[in-house]
Amino acid sequence: AQKITQTQPGMFVQEKEAVTLDCTYDTSDQSYGLFWYKQPSSGEMIFLIYQGSYDEQNATEGRYSLNFQKARKSANLVISASQLGDSAMYFCAMRGGHHNQGGKLIFGQGTELSVKP
Amino acid sequence: GAVVSQHPSWVICKSGTSVKIECRSLDFQATTMFWYRQFPKQSLMLMATSNEGSKATYEQGVEKDKFLINHASLTLSTLTVTSAHPEDSSFYICSARGSSNNQPQHFGDGTRLSIL
């Protein structure tokens, strides 16, 4: 069975500092994709970054980078130079390969990030 | 980028009412749409996967007769909560993607449903 685990229910970070949000996963698929989404209090899901299981380089998108360690089955999100607007819920998600019919996403429990001024 | 519109944004209604939520892909053909439910401070739980022109596939524990899903066109899917009760109050959010499983999912802004 596929599973995504986020062990940090809440995190605090000082403005302008970097923060790492943890995500581990479990799957028997060889091909899979890992995603990070941001959900502010208004509710919309904002796509941040994607990492494919066969990608050799860690994904980066602006201030977001994904620390992908395949052997450890971890896909941590690093946010550099935190801003007050980064305060939100962050979800890690996985899309499996052929075992996952329809390409559905499985979400972790989420981490609530609070950026302090 | 791809846009998914979800309507209404919020709804308050009396117990026993049926409520319809629409999910539209505005600038791409959504072969597959997904419906999620989210309780406060919790994760998104997939309710069902719908493919255009066919019956939805429901996740275990989700009542098909309670949550009716229709995906009649490549740009529209609807979720109808039938005879809603207070325990159905939640945040419902849809997502849509194109024809390939590898294509990204684009999310609507969600619907906050409150049943009195």
Q: Do A44 and B34 touch (CB under 8 A)?
A: no
- Report the residue of chain B nearest A98, measured CA to CA: B101
Q: What percent of chain A has pLDDT over 70?
A: 95
A38 close contact with B: CB closer than 8 A = no
- List, for residues B69-88, the tens digit of each pLDDT value: 998 888 999 999 999 999 99
Q: In 10 A of CB A17, how many CB atoms? A: 12
- List, for residues A16-59, the tens digit of each pLDDT value: 999 999 999 999 888 899 999 999 999 999 999 999 999 989 99
What pLDDT does residue A100 have? 54
Q: Do B34 and A91 touch (CB under 8 A)?
A: no
How far, in Å, CA of B83 to CA of B66, rounded?
Answer: 8
- List, for residues A8-24, the tens digit of each pLDDT value: 999 999 999 999 999 99
- Strand A111-116, strand A10-14: pairing: parallel
Residues on chain B touching A108 (C-beta within 8 angstroms): 43
